[in-house]
Chains A and B, each alone.
Chain A
């Protein structure tokens, strides 16, 4: 059994929180630049120009890219032969969030759902644990903003609705969301599993790079098709019209019940802030 110090987890998590909130990922920057070259409308170009300038300012000043530093979401793969010392893994992750959001001057946006009282330290984080073979610990962090999260939906389609039904649901959702979630967005789609599982895998799909390709060519084609459909909506950057409504579509597909076709769409804002570490 390999032992990992809780203090190493705390430092790694705090570091990811600060880095993800202040450094625009290179794949997102490339997409902004590509989109700026392709857009015809001055308003669309200007929004993208501002987002690139914003990223430069964040990089120089360490001010977060967006004031909404999100709810801290984690996907953790715990090796079967790993033990985290001290207070344990969940506590260490939350302690890392507390430290990262405090030291990084990040906004703490976690509150009680009824009293709306802020917990004051961005915890508790939302943590998904998976047990995997091996003796390493893989922690992925996502800063999930509220504006885009509010535009997300889960639905249970009838199996007969198939791919056409899935496309219709997603296209209508993105159309209805319009300018609200800070387009151009990244769309995470989870198909299969159960009601809750579809949402979990839709969000996990957002951890992928914008410029990667799904290993299953059939699903890769579906992602392309959806991306093209969504960009035909003409919503454009910030909803001001244009060719770039989404920067990418990332799909996750898993088996489901013979009676069901769960589909989740998780909308992510243009900053697409996430980081991963392996300990």
Chain B
């Protein structure tokens, strides 16, 4: 299992060398989006409009942070369960998205899209929201403010701790459950 420090935006070369199980410390700007924000991003795409951020080389973090208390850039900010965004991820990968960050399983369409477009799925520790917020230096709402916790935010992260769950070569880290039947 290799360990990498990566900077945003991600290049094809950087993503191509990652393998399931590798540890990555990510720095730079990543974007938050979850259920309602993805729906709105797709409405923009269908209307032929620009998205609120550049997808090329981008990483989307599936998170709805808790409100920032005074003196902190953000509240708790751990990953939400990713499968709910499986409907959206393949099209975004085809448009240049390099990475998604969340927790839990992805479906076959997402895994195939990552292989076709050199994408990666990173896992962050679910429920470690307070710990993960320590790697977030700044947060700014850049779109859909009306969605509250689901608004799209630009996050400036420093050495954000991630695990490669699904790589661009079909590799997957999750354990297969052992069933007797």
Contact = CB atoms under 8 A, between A and B. Distances in A.
Contacts, number: 151
A51 interface: yes
Contact of B126 (A43, A58, A147, A171): A147
Given A234-B177, A234-B178, A180 B127 contact: no
Interface stretch (A6-14, A85-93, A152-160, A236-244): A236-244
Contact of B148 (A58, A108, A147, A271): A108
Contacts of A232: 178
B72 A108 contact: no
A259 to B, nearest CB: 27
B129 A235 contact: no
A63 B75 contact: yes
A180 B67 CA distance: 24
Interface string A33-75: 0000000000100010011011001100111111111000000
Contacts of B44: none
B85 to A, nearest CB: 13
A131 interface: no
B68 interface: yes
A147 B36 CA distance: 16
Contacts of A172: 179
Contact of A240 (B35, B72, B175): B175
Contacts of A30: none
Contacts of B174: 178-179, 239-240
Given A50-B125, A58-B130, A106-B66, A67 B35 contact: no
Interface string B62-100: 011111110010011110110100000000000000000
A118 B149 contact: yes
A67 B131 contact: no
A147 B81 contact: yes
Contact of B105 (A63, A150, A174, A180): A180
B17 to A, nearest CB: 20
B76 A65 contact: yes
A107 B130 contact: no
A125 interface: no
Interface in B123-150: 123, 125-131, 133-134, 147-150
A251 to B, nearest CB: 21
B127 A116 contact: no
Interface in B101-141: 103-105, 123, 125-131, 133-134
Contacts of A53: 128, 131
A226 to B, nearest CB: 14
A200 interface: no
Contacts of A118: 147-150
29 contacts: A50-B131, A51-B128, A53-B131, A54-B128, A54-B131, A58-B76, A61-B130, A63-B66, A64-B76, A66-B128, A67-B66, A67-B78, A67-B149, A68-B64, A68-B129, A69-B66, A105-B68, A175-B179, A178-B105, A182-B103, A233-B178, A234-B177, A238-B123, A238-B125, A238-B126, A239-B104, A240-B163, A241-B175, A269-B127
Given A172-B179, A180-B81, 14 more contacts: A43-B21, A50-B131, A57-B131, A63-B76, A68-B78, A69-B66, A105-B67, A109-B64, A116-B35, A116-B36, A174-B177, A179-B104, A180-B83, A238-B125
> Which 4 pairs, one residue from A and one from B, show the smallest C-beta to C-beta distance?
A241-B175, A180-B104, A175-B177, A182-B126
Interface of B: 21, 35-36, 63-69, 72, 75-78, 80-81, 83, 103-105, 123, 125-131, 133-134, 147-150, 163, 173-179, 181
